[in-house]
A and B are shown apart, each in its own frame.
Chain A
Amino acid sequence: MSTPEPEKNEPAAAPTPAKPAAPKPSRDWGTVVRNVFTAENSATVTFLAIVLALVVGAIMIVLSNTDTMNQLGYFFASPTDFLSSAWNDVSSAYSSLFKGAIFDPATVSGTPAQFFGPISNTLEYATPLIFGGLAISVAFRAGMFNIGGQGQLIVGAIFASYVGFSWTALPGLLHMFAAVLAGIVGGMLYGGVVGWLKAYRGAHEVIVTIMLNYVAFLFLGGWLLNTSVFHDAAAAGQAVGKPATPSAVLPHLFGDQLFTDIGLVFALIATAAVAWFFKRSKLGFEVRAVGLRPSAARTAGINVSRVQIAAMLISGALMGLIGVTQTLGLANPNNNSLSPNLDAGLGFTAITVALLGRTKPWGCVWASLLFGALQAGGALMQTQAQVSIEVITVIQALIVIFVAAPQLVKEIFHLRAHKIDTGAKGEDAPPPVDPFHTDTTTAAGGEA
């Protein structure tokens, strides 16, 4: 991950002296094959990390099945009992995971809606994750951890939902866009507070965002949903908001049979926009400069405080879009209304997505697709194989841990030895953007 390979989305962030082209490995087959099996090859490490995480998930599934574990008691008398039963547990779980996420072989002869159903579920689950991954990436490139996605998405959802059920005079699509914009503004404001506190009061953003998460959560579930403005009178006794009018709801993307809504298009537009932002815009350049080394950026005449606030505003706006898809999208199980648990932990999952995508816009899309597939498959796994969807959380966390520790993967699979470069001893090369490791000279969190 830290080899200076030329990367499309990653131009040299600061005007570095023309760096001598890294000695290109000679392209004979032996080298290519060998390079696949080094710990430096991030694609291999990512693949192996997924495999390892699935293996650990399988172990958990077997260990937690009491019937199977009872057969382990007489393992030496009849080992096949235990092994076949364990195999059944794991294969039924993972095959339904696959069927729920990608496609079900039984539907080959069915309608297109059945055939593409799992994929469209995956896309729907991936949509909020794309926004989240982008949001974390923008903040991270400016040298900040936005742990506050939960809060920002809740505030975005509140704003979007309010416009969704109250501004009913607006015609059709305009109403939807107004609701989407409201969600963006909500998340933006809540993120901007963090940026302001960081830039002008020196408050550490990790602490502030964690605290604001709980403030937003309590505000929504503990108070707002009980007020007459937001509470749905039809759902007496339940903390549920008023449903959005149909004109504000995000329309289906591929026809009414499939579960994907137009949020996916917004997500892809946002990805392209963020990619453009990093690559071409002045502010994006400043963001990266501040993230690499705030003191150098300040010396170069960049207003660090302004950039930090701007980055948090953008990050919050993207998180607000999660709030929009969670309330107005098809994934909302409560008739497009607010509910206390609408966040679904997405603010935290977003962090894992951004890490897996290595804080690159299109990388986040791939990571979101993987995690969206796991979510969609997990839902079917829960109903078909009676394996709790919580195992998906475990698998996601493990994937990220393994990806972040390539050395561990290398040790497990006996890949070729390479010491991971922490960036501490880099001489000329600009430090690689690496979300997992801070080097010892500059903390990625900026000055605390």
Chain B
Amino acid sequence: MSTASTATGDNGANEGPLTLAEAAARRSKLVSGVSMAVVGALGLWAFGLTSRVSGAAHTIFGLKEDPNAAGGLSPISAPSQALAIALMSLAIVCGLVRAFAPISKRYQLWTAIIYFASYSAGFLVWAAAGSSVGLNVPAILAQTAIQAVPLVLGSLSALLCERSGVVNIAVEGQFLFGAFAAVLTASTTGSIWAGAIAGCLGGALMCALLAVFANRYLIEQVVLGVVLNLLASGVTGFLYDRLMSTNGGTYNKAQGFNNIRIPGLASIPIIGPLFDQNILFYVAYLLVPVVWFLLFRTRWGLRTRAVGEHPTAADTVGIKVIGLRYRNVITAGLLSGLGGVWLTLGLASQFGKDMSSGKGYIAIAALIVGRWSPIGSLGAAVLFGFATELQVALTSLGTPIPGAFLAMAPYLVTIFVVAALSGLSRPPAASGKPYIKG
């Protein structure tokens, strides 16, 4: 029941008795802060005071991607227990500040970011304590960025749709269709560029279906998204069985783009590997500021947001609501199709049944955790990519935590965010509601 006052107003601005909504926002701030502090205290006990980090255990941070390469920075070794306790205390302080200090929304956001960062760092220190190999920081950074690429593209696609008032639960289906179309085209034509274009168009085709059925036939959009995901899974799975499972050499060849090494930037220590990736990687991350600029600094963006927030008002000032929605949703399909292209051509892998394995849904989670903004979605996508990468990194370190629980992290964080921060996170007002003129 959040009214406009919680959505826009800073706290404490108006006097008089608290409105219901303000009370709810305050309670939400208190509850989320306290729960962050409690989870932080648990972390302090688990990561700072258990036997794994006690005594003389040290955590080694490797600063070269290839530890055996000559030259470069030498690894840093730090006492695990002190470092872990310091990081977890910082996290607890963030939770307490959030709960009790009278701070504005902007600083509340910063407490959340610092909280997550110090919490994950404390966890890593604990996980790598006593290991002779330690943490390979550049490799973890690069892998995190790679894991986040489809999430970034998918959340941008869902962002464009939701900002123009159409819920796009079908990112998963668009990934699958894009990935399939890309591999099929690239294998039959021999050109990966043709494959990339076909993949984007495949995603756009799925989004066109979404747009038509949502805007013209007014089907409920969450239901429609789920059904379109089933459709995409069925179509690609069927064609995979018919064409690719027997004729993999003809229709399902693993091909990939070459890496482009950006001179100068690629030789910076630690973050260098981020600048030695293929073209799709750069495109995905460049699209974030581009979409942000288009959405918040151009006329098209203003209109899109108007259509997503209050279509009737937008119509009154002469914006063609339905037409704009069609265009935006189909454009968004190009982005999620590109996410599908990344899964096959970007990672130089073959197509497999249901290969997107829930990444489309994580992308939507990133959009929500990122509060429907391009920059926020990028942050959430990187966070989720980090959680995915951790599963891989931690198997070599032999922690007592099973990989499955790390894999759950993005989902649990999302539930935590929508449940604890519900006052802060608000979808575009007209999202999911079809517009009927007249």
Contacts and interface: CB of A to CB of B under 8 A. Distances in A.
A443 B420 CA distance: 23
B234 A390 contact: yes
Contacts of B402: 222-223, 226
A393 interface: yes
A172 B215 CA distance: 56
A391 B436 CA distance: 35
Given A207-B418, A222-B403, A396-B230, A404 B235 contact: no
Contacts of A445: 222, 432
A73 B435 CA distance: 46
A420 B403 CA distance: 50
Contacts of A65: 242
Interface stretch (B61-69, B88-96, B284-292, B409-417): B409-417
A215 B433 contact: no
A407 B412 contact: no
A210 B427 CA distance: 17
B227 A351 contact: yes
Interface stretch (A44-52, A153-161, A307-315, A430-438): A430-438
A64 B233 CA distance: 16
Contact of A391 (B229, B234, B412): B234
Contacts of A443: 432-433
A389 to B, nearest CB: 8
A421 B303 CA distance: 28
B414 A202 contact: no
B220 interface: yes
Contact of B230 (A60, A387, A397, A436): A397
A405 B235 CA distance: 20
A345 B226 CA distance: 12
Interface string A399-431: 011001101100000000000101010000000
The residue among A201, A219, A345 with the most chain B CB atoms within 10 A of its own CB is A201
Interface string B222-240: 1110111111011101111
B404 A145 contact: no
Interface in B398-438: 402-405, 407-408, 411-412, 414-415, 418-420, 422-423, 426-427, 432-436
Given A207-B368, A208-B419, A390-B241, A405 B213 contact: yes
Size band of the A side of the interface?
35 or more
Given A214-B408, A394-B231, A64 B243 contact: yes
A210 B213 CA distance: 22
Contact of A352 (B227, B242, B411): B227
Contacts of B227: 351-352, 355, 397, 400-401, 404
B128 interface: no
A153 B148 CA distance: 30
A214 B231 contact: no
B155 to A, nearest CB: 13
Contacts of B219: 401, 404-405, 436-437
A293 interface: no
A279 interface: no
A398 interface: yes
B358 interface: yes
Contacts of A212: 411, 415
B192 interface: no
Contacts of B223: 145, 351, 355, 404, 435-436
Nearest to B414: A211
A269 B280 CA distance: 55
A203 B227 CA distance: 23
A181 to B, nearest CB: 27
Contacts of B222: 145, 147, 206, 445
A420 B217 CA distance: 9
A201 B422 contact: yes
Nearest to B367: A207
B1 interface: yes
Contacts of A348: 226, 229-230
B42 interface: no
Contacts of B364: 207, 210
A300 B402 CA distance: 50
The residue among A60, A211, A212, A445 with the most chain B CB atoms within 10 A of its own CB is A211
Contacts of B237: 388, 390, 393
B234 A422 contact: no
Nearest to A437: B218
B233 A218 contact: no
Nearest to A64: B242
B156 interface: no
B361 interface: yes
B418 A214 contact: no
Contact of A401 (B213, B239, B403, B405): B213
A197 interface: yes
Contacts of B368: 207
Contacts of A10: none
Nearest to A210: B361
Given A197-B419, A351-B227, A388 B235 contact: no
Given A435-B223, A440-B435, A397 B228 contact: yes
A214 B404 CA distance: 10
B152 interface: no
Given A390-B237, A420-B218, 10 more contacts: A197-B418, A204-B418, A207-B418, A345-B230, A393-B237, A394-B235, A397-B231, A405-B213, A435-B223, A437-B434
12 contacts: A210-B365, A214-B358, A223-B404, A349-B230, A392-B234, A396-B230, A401-B219, A404-B217, A404-B219, A407-B216, A436-B223, A445-B432
Give the 7 A-B residue pairs with the shortest CB-CB distance, closest first: A222-B404, A393-B234, A388-B241, A405-B217, A390-B237, A394-B234, A390-B238
Interface of A: 60, 64-66, 145, 147, 197, 201-204, 206-208, 210-212, 214-215, 218-219, 221-223, 226, 345, 348-349, 351-352, 355, 387-388, 390-394, 396-398, 400-401, 404-405, 407-408, 420, 422, 424, 435-438, 440, 443-445, 447-448
